[in-house]
């Protein structure tokens, strides 16, 4: 793709990049420009570097450190994104690149990869395996960074944002990798390839744990308000959908377990199969904790985000209304009719009377849905393994960005 050595542009045709993100050992397939003021809201973009192969690596490293902001032409953004995928490990290990910038790079690339996974043709086994390979490749490049306890400082910049499936999945995978790396004794794995393989399996499961939501109708998935009982049941089917979509891709048994069982509760009140305690695979318990933690700390259409402290206080709290909550949960799971009769005694027309009675029952059903959600936030300790949850709090509390000592 031929580009000019100079451009006069208002800036919209160029994208800013960090020169430190350029690997001197990697032959770049894009041109680098500097930006100079010109006139009439125009800028002069002058090419600084066309071919890295023509320059000694030491000289190139020095130049990259001396440059401030540099730019690439919009025609080469695709080339640059491909470069980022191939050099993600280099960028994440670079001591001079700010952790926030590393986080943004990782999230941008991960979002694209997860979106591609959600959009593939699942009827094609070849496409499914290719998509999984792309996710595994990305995680392999990033695993050293995302499993480091210090990367929690990057995650805190993502907490409290609007809930969005792709970024939620990224955070779940990231938190799982950090937790497992800090609690290796749970899996009797110490270091080396075996540990890396475990971390990759966990992070991949986190990134893909909600992929079954592509089978959920959009009007339910994107509903602004609270879900009614039938919608609640439909949403719950996403775990089985996720496992079935990925079953023949070659994904590890451990990853499939995390994806299928990440909504099972410690007391057996979860879904899809009502497993309890030791019946629930360890990897699924960890996925459950990270999934709920991020869901509670994310902003939704119908609720504000919780702080990490507020979220974990709910997760560790004993629910004083547990019997009532379980009754409501059972009603929702079985889509039972609201156990209420409405009788309008006024001498209305028969059709109007029945209509009003139906409206009253529907109003009561909505109240029970709202009550179920409110009661759930009164305490969720019955959902989680106590020791694992305590370990999770201790792990993320090691970051200066979290203040959770009161919960320990």
Burial readout 365-402 (b: 16 or more C-beta within 10 A, e: otherwise) = beebbeebbebbeebbbbbbbeebbebbbbbbbebeeb
Residue 92: inside a domain: no
How confident is the model over 336-394, as pLDDT tens digits?
A: 666 555 555 666 676 666 666 666 666 766 777 777 777 888 899 999 999 999 999 99
204 and 175 in one domain?
A: yes
Q: Averaged over 176-181, what is the pLDDT?
A: 95
78 and 4 in one domain?
A: yes
Task: Supply the range of the domain harboring residue 233.
Answer: 106-306+314-318+379-407
191 and 153 in one domain?
A: yes
How confident is the model over 271-281, as pLDDT tens digits?
A: 899 999 999 99
- Percent of all residues in the chain with a pLDDT value above 70, rounded to a whole number: 90
Of 94, 183, 189, 109, nearest in space to 145 by CA: 94
Least-confidence region, from 25-34, 99-108, 129-138: 25-34
Q: Residue 253's domain is classified under what CATH number?
A: 1.10.3210.10
CA–CA dist 117, 112 (Å, integer): 9
288 and 364 in one domain?
A: no
CA–CA dist 25, 57 (Å, integer): 7
Which band of pLDDT confidence, cut at 50, 70 and 90, is reported for residue 400?
confident
Residue 96: inside a domain: no
CA–CA–CA angle 125, 142, 393 (5° rounding): 105
21's torsion region: left (phi>0), alpha (psi -120 to 50) or beta? alpha
What pLDDT score does 27 carry? Answer: 66
Which band of pLDDT confidence, cut at 50, 70 and 90, is reported for residue 60?
confident
Residues in the chain: 408
CA–CA dist 77, 405 (Å, integer): 45
130 and 65 in one domain?
A: no
Domain count of the fold of the chain: 3
Q: Averaged over 188-202, what is the pLDDT?
A: 89
169 and 53 in one domain?
A: no
189 and 125 in one domain?
A: yes
CA–CA dist 247, 122 (Å, integer): 11
Residue 98: inside a domain: no
Q: Averaged over 33-38, what is the pLDDT?
A: 89
357 and 274 in one domain?
A: no
Residue 348: inside a domain: yes
Structure-token pair, residue 403: 């203040």
What pLDDT score does 321 carry? Answer: 85
Q: What is the pTM of this model?
A: 0.85
Of 40, 110, 43, 101, nearest in space to 71 by CA: 43
169 and 145 in one domain?
A: yes
26 and 151 in one domain?
A: no
Q: Is 238 exposed, middle or buried (CB count within 10 Å of its CB: 0-12, 13-18, 19+)?
A: buried
Least-confidence region, from 40-54, 87-101, 249-263: 40-54
> Between residues 403 and 258, which one has the greater pLDDT?
258
Q: Are 147 and 199 in contact (CB under 8 A)?
A: yes
298 and 240 in one domain?
A: yes
Q: Averaged over 72-85, what is the pLDDT?
A: 89
Q: Are 287 and 176 in contact (CB under 8 A)?
A: yes
Residue 336: inside a domain: yes
206 and 351 in one domain?
A: no
Residue 261: inside a domain: yes
Residue 292: inside a domain: yes
- Percent of all residues in the chain with a pLDDT value above 90, rounded to a whole number: 39
Most confidently modeled range among 22-31, 153-162, 307-316: 307-316
CA–CA dist 43, 35 (Å, integer): 7
CA–CA dist 204, 12 (Å, integer): 36
**pLDDT above 60 for 334:** yes
Residue 97: inside a domain: no
């Amino acid at each position: 793709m031929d580009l000019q050595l100079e451009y006069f542009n208002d800036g919209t045709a160029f994208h800013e990049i960090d020169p430190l993100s350029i690997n001197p050992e990697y032959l770049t397939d894009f041109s680098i420009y500097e930006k100079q003021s010109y006139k009439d809201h125009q800028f002069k973009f002058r090419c600084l570097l066309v071919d890295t192969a023509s320059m000694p690596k030491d000289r190139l490293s020095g130049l990259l450190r001396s440059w401030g902001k540099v730019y690439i032409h919009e025609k080469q953004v695709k080339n640059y994104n491909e470069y980022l995928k191939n050099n993600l490990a280099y960028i994440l290990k670079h001591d001079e690149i700010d952790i926030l910038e590393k986080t943004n790079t990782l999230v941008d690339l991960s979002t694209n990869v997860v979106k591609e996974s959600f959009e593939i043709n699942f009827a094609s086994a070849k496409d499914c395996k290719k998509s999984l390979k792309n996710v595994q490749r990305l995680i392999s490049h990033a695993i050293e960074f995302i499993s480091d306890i210090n990367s929690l400082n990057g995650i805190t910049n993502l907490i409290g944002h609007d809930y969005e499936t792709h970024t939620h999945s990224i955070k779940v995978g990231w938190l799982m990798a950090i937790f497992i790396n800090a609690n290796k004794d749970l899996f009797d794995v110490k270091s080396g390839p075996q540990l890396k393989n475990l971390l990759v399996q966990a992070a991949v499961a986190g990134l893909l744990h909600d992929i079954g939501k592509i089978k959920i109708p959009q009007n339910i998935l994107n509903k602004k308000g609270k879900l009614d009982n039938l919608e609640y049941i439909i949403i719950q089917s996403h775990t089985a959908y996720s496992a079935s979509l990925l079953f023949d891709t070659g994904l590890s048994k451990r990853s499939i377990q995390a994806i299928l069982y990440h909504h099972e509760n410690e007391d057996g009140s979860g879904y899809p199969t009502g497993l309890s305690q030791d019946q629930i695979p360890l990897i699924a318990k960890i996925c459950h904790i990270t999934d709920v933690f991020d869901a509670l700390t994310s902003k939704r259409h119908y609720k504000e985000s919780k702080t990490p402290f507020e979220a974990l206080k709910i997760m560790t709290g004993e629910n004083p209304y547990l019997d009532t909550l379980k009754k409501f949960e059972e009603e929702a799971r079985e889509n039972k009719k609201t156990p209420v009769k409405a009788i309008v005694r006024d001498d209305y027309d028969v059709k109007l009377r029945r209509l009003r009675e139906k409206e009253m029952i529907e109003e009561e059903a909505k109240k029970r849905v709202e009550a179920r959600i409110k009661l759930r936030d009164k305490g969720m300790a019955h959902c989680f393994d106590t020791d694992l949850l305590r370990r999770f709090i201790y792990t993320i509390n090691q970051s200066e960005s979290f203040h959770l000592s009161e919960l320990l």
